[in-house]
Structure 1
């Protein structure tokens, strides 16, 4: 063997391999680029003439990153024009500007900017050229920047957001670029924006059929283009690869339609939310010119008139909540970590469904529903043409001109989410709904929905249908699913008069009769409680927050959540509550520490439990056992108060299944701190909830403590909001301090560095300090 010749051949092969890999990498880099465009904006509040011009001097403006809600940064004021609906927080005009450069080597690319939401009435300019206006602050939209870009020179994008026309909403909206922004570059021939639609017409445990419709936009030259599709499971394994080819004319759109069969698929379900990914690559010859990944789930969902909702062949009650888009202390600019923490608690209560009340949510909200196993009612509008009280100058001003575009964009953006099982096109609409004339406005929206997604039913949340006569006029019988807010007895009667109607409670209160309407009526597909979490706005001064949630703004369990847990949780539960004031007065609270030990002697007790029997003890003395009522009502005791410990033990088949106890607290002594996340990455969406609880010297929570808690944090982290859940508190969410409410306060924190530790401390006058640390870890890459 010739050693030198062999060595030379090996070197040549390595060289060729290196060149091939370099070329492949270079080719791939010439495909789609998605650039996070959140950082490095300049901001100012108020009207600024000429701020759209490229040479405008914004050096004195505030530097910040988006998402950003400047309204939540402001002070509560009863005189603010947002008033009751907007929660008395400030409104007005805000300007954002950002400069950036693009390499001349990319001059043949097509560039667009994608906004997930700007509140509200947004205008966007690039280098002084007006790109467009979008009134609806909840809508995602994109603009083509290409004709106006400078290459190897500075570009300036300017955004004006205006929510000064008030009252604009019945609930808090926020203000500014409050969702994520991306800069996207593609080749002239590329995947059309929101142009890929994935459906699963067959979804069983043994066979899944995945149908992909992929639109290709060709702004380049006529040619043959190859589409390669890889279906990847949740373990990263490629389970199927297919290819197809099509000739696409210049300046036209080509449609690839591909049906792929998957053997023994992992179905998407609420218990096992298995996700697949469709990785699609577009080639011209051997050159990769575009690529994208679209997550999806293989599932079958349907509503059946006589038996309600079905998912993958299993009958399932939708135990849902309505959620507004705000995240409490962070306002409308909500990190995914906030939703993740909220969703975890909703899961604990037994919630399996979410209604997006009453507008499109951020895309990552739906991503999280996909990942955590919630089914979703995706809702478009709170108003059509007719105004609503406390929101007279809202979307009703724009509905006629914008409903079709906004509806189309919602459906195109959201339709690949497996969590979505139904669309709603209106909430408590006040327009004339008479039939047939009033129905036309409903039908025109339904037609747009089904034009872009005909795989899911459409409903709306009917308001007092007995008054509007929609059950008698012929309106309701045209609906895919009849949705009604409250008055469950009307919906029950309507179905029993029309057994072919599919029915769903679209908004419900927490009372037991409404739960029983769901529990006992097989045809009732589900209900959505008003609400999952307390939300900003829709409250009368001095209140700033609507408090009908299962949880308060800070994530504290409320009485109705404890009771709902006993109805909806699959696990054995026991929860003790007492009336806060003597002899059955006051609110229901979960502790054994009255405000005044001297005047509190008659304690009215309720225990919420799904156990067969519950026995109550006071200082180890039994106060009797009560069996589970047939109507799921709480078990009650009237107790002569004694300081000490109250305990409830729940039993199934004679064995202890669950228990809870409370002990009377002494004087406040110290602060203890807990964290929702032990680690954080330096990512805008990654947060941890720091809870400071005031306790006595034995560690028992002092539920009546209201000390001012001051949080401090090292430079490796940042406090992005503080709260306590008190609906009449007017304290700033941006301050590092908050008065304790029911003995607690929270701080929501984020990492600001890539490595190290975050140290957080909580202090209050006269109390021992609490402290905790969080490790910063590398950000996970997809």
Structure 2
């Protein structure tokens, strides 16, 4: 069944009650779907969402569009599919109620036939809302794609084909295909289903067909077993995808409907002795937790943005992501399938106990099965998805009723899809909040995040306590892989307490990766680590910030960044897609980088006292270009998997050895130096056993200019995205990170500015542009094509010559599905 994009022609405006006056209320404005209705609303310190949403308010919004319904659609089946509407979506067609979907992350389909006016212009209206319903920035509105489906009343069901490969050996695999056919007519129909299986090159290598009889108003399943000789197997290093092409034919051979499903042939195994194996090869999960927003674009799902995110995460050394804490979008999973990124897809942040005032716990008990079914329908053919997570830090998990819910949800996943493993992000401390005094004695806290910020050691001790062992045992026992959030104190002890238990670090502190990865390597039952977080995000504002405390008005706020904090500031990759020093440290800890990495503490803050949270990294930049006086003191860290590092400075006066330092202080894989800033080149040489094993350097920037480059020179004409990097850099591309300025972006031709952002975590600026202050010499503009043709992006800044870049959106590059 073919999905046709239904993205243009929409308007959005605030929702008003039937008796409310429209005087002074903003009019509805045209938008393109996907769209985030919250992103550009005015922020303030007293917004209801507070620190969770980055001080962006909530609201209720109405989307509307008109479309023509030809008279010949009377004999067709018309559906409107929404991949995600946040949240409590109510759909009306021609003013009549058609559907309600409370889940902000589940795809849903509206059967439109009963509401259509044939031969006329019809209207679809969608209400969406967000208000104190999450612990991070969710966005609001029709933030994921919408599709219009017009099909024969007898058709292939949406997401109705399941492909499994349960029988694989070195010589062949058996591919089992099950296809659901729906009959919405009043008559019994006998048709024939054809399957054509194509290899990764697109060549059809095997085919089959079978008749299927479908009774009126019912569904029928047609099945085939397809023999594939010596198939290319899908793996993270070789993400080879096959495709099953399905056609449904009437008795006279007329094609009634078609569909296609991409899948991967791969074998999963997991046990406490060998860990995780894919196609018989051991794999350690180098994992990143990610939220669903796309930075400056807001919460929208766009295939170009999701593909870029997955590519950059994989380039940084990750091979797995955890969708925190909600089901991932189709576009993100498509990218993971293509690039070989493994996925832990998560159901929910809450079950029946609330974490915020109006969160998804309301109604969870009545809709959880539908939520599980929607997640599985989206994921079951995807080779990238290897783990279903049933929850995150569930409050009731350590109670008997919580254990009952654990079992209930896990078994429903197994019923719908027995081919993947079940996990849960268990935080034993969070699950026992009411018993903290019993666990910690005199030390307790009322706010979980504040407790984590100040009581990291106590939390580790608590997670290893007998009380948490006993209280979480049943909920853990229902899982195939036990996920522990900040529970690495249990890794070694659980090997003795529960010899068959397989563990994954489902969420961990970023600065502990060296120790954590050592445990993953040493302990076969620990299959990986997922850091918080892989990519910076909006909301949970300031959770990873560094504060300098020697100011008169300083007051500690725990993990909550006061207004105008907007970003979390805890990602290995910042909001613009640039790798932070933490990312290079992690790559070294993973054993994927032999050269050292240099990180410089901002010299303007040298010697000042700081306050950090457990999610903070040091306030460092990989730069040797600073606007301070030569001779100013500066701290330099060198990250290296070595015994010793030598640091040299080469400037106009010659080359001097700054010093030699052992690796391991102040943390594993770090050598720290105190020196003086002088422009030139900073060279780090890593040694083991006296022999050089790697080197790297930083150079000071020359005269900076405004430089603009597009990562994507050709984009799809139907809304494709170009990511345009803006830098203050010299002729060699070295960024002058200590001289930020405001840049203004204009777009001419067949495109428009979709977003403009930087990695600055504390700001009052809007992502809508057209102007933005760079951060560490960099900003990112995202340009969306509005049709076929040439797009010229021009950037201006005070004191700099303008810079421009050309992007092409040929009409032939438009997407067809």
- TM score, norm. by length of structure 2: 0.85
Pairwise CA RMSD: 2.6
Contact 2:398/2:471, CA 8 A, preserved across alignment: no
Distance in 2 between the 1:679 and 1:385 partners?
Answer: 47
Q: What does residue 561 of structure 1 align with? A: 583
Distance in 2 between the 1:400 and 1:180 partners?
Answer: 27
Distance in 2 between the 1:473 and 1:417 partners?
Answer: 31
Quick one: which of 149, 153, 156 aligns to 1:191? 156
Cα shift at 1:297: 0.6
Q: What does residue 35 of structure 2 align with? A: 68
The correspondence of residues 109-508 of structure 1 with structure 2, limited to 5 A, is 109-163=76-130, 166-220=131-185, 221-285=187-251, 286-388=253-355, 391-435=356-400, 437-464=401-428, 466=463, 468-470=468-470, 473-508=473-508
Cα shift at 1:738: 0.6
Distance in 2 between the 1:472 and 1:442 partners?
Answer: 11
Cα shift at 1:193: 2.6
Contact 2:353/2:396, CA 8 A, preserved across alignment: yes
Contact 1:74/1:89, CA 8 A, preserved across alignment: yes
Distance in 2 between the 1:501 and 1:657 partners?
Answer: 38
Cα shift at 1:651: 7.1
Cα distance change, pair 491–705 in 1 and its aligned pair in 2 (3 A): same
Q: Deviations over 1:249-282 (max 9, x none)?
A: 2222211122111101011111111111111111
Task: Report the secondary structure of 1:564's partner residue.
Answer: helix
Alignment partner of 1:604 is 2:604: no
Cα distance change, pair 595–495 in 1 and its aligned pair in 2 (3 A): farther
Task: Report the secondary structure of 1:507's partner residue.
Answer: strand
Q: Deviations over 1:417-436 (max 9, x none)?
A: 1110010111000015324x
Cα distance change, pair 714–781 in 1 and its aligned pair in 2 (3 A): closer
Q: Deviations over 1:654-708 (max 9, x none)?
A: 9977543223346x64211222112222132x32221221135886421111211
Cα distance change, pair 459–768 in 1 and its aligned pair in 2 (3 A): same
Cα distance change, pair 334–147 in 1 and its aligned pair in 2 (3 A): closer
Where do 5+ consecutive residues of structure 1 fail to align?
A: 1-31, 52-57
Task: Report the secondary structure of 1:496's partner residue.
Answer: helix
Q: What does residue 12 of structure 1 align with? A: none
Distance in 1 between the 2:2 and 2:178 partners?
Answer: 22
Task: Report the secondary structure of 1:741's partner residue.
Answer: coil
Cα shift at 1:87: 1.4
Cα shift at 1:331: 0.5
Q: What does residue 88 of structure 1 align with? A: 55
Distance in 1 between the 2:129 and 2:741 partners?
Answer: 39
Q: What does residue 716 of structure 1 align with? A: 750
Task: Report the secondary structure of 1:714's partner residue.
Answer: strand
Q: What does residue 591 of structure 1 align with? A: 623
Alignment partner of 1:729 is 2:729: no
Q: What does residue 578 of structure 1 align with? A: 600
The correspondence of residues 90-109 of structure 1 with structure 2, limited to 5 A, is 90-109=57-76
Task: Report the secondary structure of 2:361's partner residue.
Answer: helix
Contact 1:565/1:573, CA 8 A, preserved across alignment: no
When structure 1 is superposed on structure 2, of 690-699 and 418-427 the one drifting more is 690-699
Cα distance change, pair 209–711 in 1 and its aligned pair in 2 (3 A): same
Task: Report the secondary structure of 1:201's partner residue.
Answer: strand
Cα shift at 1:642: 3.2
Distance in 1 between the 2:755 and 2:296 partners?
Answer: 5
Cα shift at 1:137: 1.0
Q: Paired residues, what number? A: 736
Alignment partner of 1:687 is 2:654: no
Contact 1:434/1:470, CA 8 A, preserved across alignment: no
Cα distance change, pair 225–613 in 1 and its aligned pair in 2 (3 A): farther
Quick one: which of 648, 660, 663 aligns to 1:617? 648
Cα distance change, pair 262–653 in 1 and its aligned pair in 2 (3 A): farther
Q: What does residue 524 of structure 1 align with? A: 526
Distance in 1 between the 2:45 and 2:501 partners?
Answer: 46
Where do 5+ consecutive residues of structure 2 fail to align?
A: 430-462, 542-560, 611-618
Contact 1:651/1:658, CA 8 A, preserved across alignment: yes
The correspondence of residues 760-775 of structure 1 with structure 2, limited to 5 A, is 760-775=793-808
Task: Report the secondary structure of 1:535's partner residue.
Answer: coil
Cα shift at 1:615: 4.2
When structure 1 is superposed on structure 2, of 743-752 and 291-300 the one drifting more is 743-752
Distance in 1 between the 2:294 and 2:206 partners?
Answer: 40
Task: Report the secondary structure of 1:692's partner residue.
Answer: strand
Cα shift at 1:595: 4.4
Q: What does residue 13 of structure 1 align with? A: none
Cα shift at 1:233: 1.5
Alignment partner of 1:46 is 2:19: no
Cα shift at 1:584: 5.7
